[in-house]
Amino acid sequence: MRFRLGMRAAALALGAALLLPAAASYAATTYTATDADTFWALSKKFDVPLQKLMSFNPNVDPKNIYAGLKLSIPAPATTAVTAKSASAKTVQPAAASQAAKLVKTVSGESLPYATAIQMKATAYSASIEENAWGPVDYFGNPLKLGTIAVDPKVIPLGTKVYITGYSHDGLPAGGMFAVARDSGSAIKGNRIDIFVPGSRDKASKFGYQYVNLYVLD
């Protein structure tokens, strides 16, 4: 269902914002959005936590960011800190972050990952209706289980990932390893298309699901 000919509009998936510190400790600047912007892309562009960025724009629909929309971009306010407090802010969170960046597979193995992203997922098959250039991926290899189509601006082609949170009898139960080997004109932003062996009808039963994607180290 990646529709290389662009027959499906792209959608952005974002998780609910976590509880965050009061915005009073942050300054903000105004940014004028473009049609290509997403909260995820802007959080990377301005090096701002995704949830913090969303908390500064509570009335903005994450799926409807359009050209000309005014957004507030948070930036830490300048404050004086002692060497002791500065050390605590750099060492302690880093240790906590390092300990948290492990994902457990269905086999019980714990794998280090670089980034975790919630994605809106669909599924596609090897049918000619969905593959104008034949049942092959972006590199010309035959489509197979473990192939996903991505937006290369978000997930570079060739990236190895682990995916959880889906429900479909054509995919491994509980979680699966995958490689970003494909792309499509409708796969933009926080979207992925998962290849499912079998008929187009079987793949269509996947529908739209929110999944967790872990970019492996």
Q: Rounded CA gap, 93 and 47, in Å?
A: 16
- Of residues 107 and 6, more confidently modeled: 107
* Per-residue confidence (pLDDT) for residue 65, from 0 to 100: 86
* Per-residue confidence (pLDDT) for residue 100, from 0 to 100: 61
**pLDDT confidence of 60, banded at 50, 70, 90?**
confident
Residues 6+ apart with CB under 8 A from 61: none
* Per-residue confidence (pLDDT) for residue 24, from 0 to 100: 41
**Residue 12 scores a pLDDT above 50:** no
**What are the structural domains, with CATH classification, of the chain?**
23-76 (3.10.350.10), 103-216 (2.40.40.10)
Q: Rounded CA gap, 200 and 183, in Å?
A: 18
Reported as a single tens digit per residue, the pLDDT across 116-156 is: 999 999 999 999 999 988 999 999 999 999 999 999 999 99
Determine phi and psi for 212, rounding to 5 degrees. Answer: -105, 125
B/e letters for 90-116, b = 16+ CB within 10 Å, e = fewer, are: eeeeeeeeeeeeebeeeeeeeeebeeb
| Residue 113 three-state SS | strand
CA angle 194, 195, 200 (to 5 degrees): 115
**pLDDT confidence of 62, banded at 50, 70, 90?**
confident
* Per-residue confidence (pLDDT) for residue 94, from 0 to 100: 46
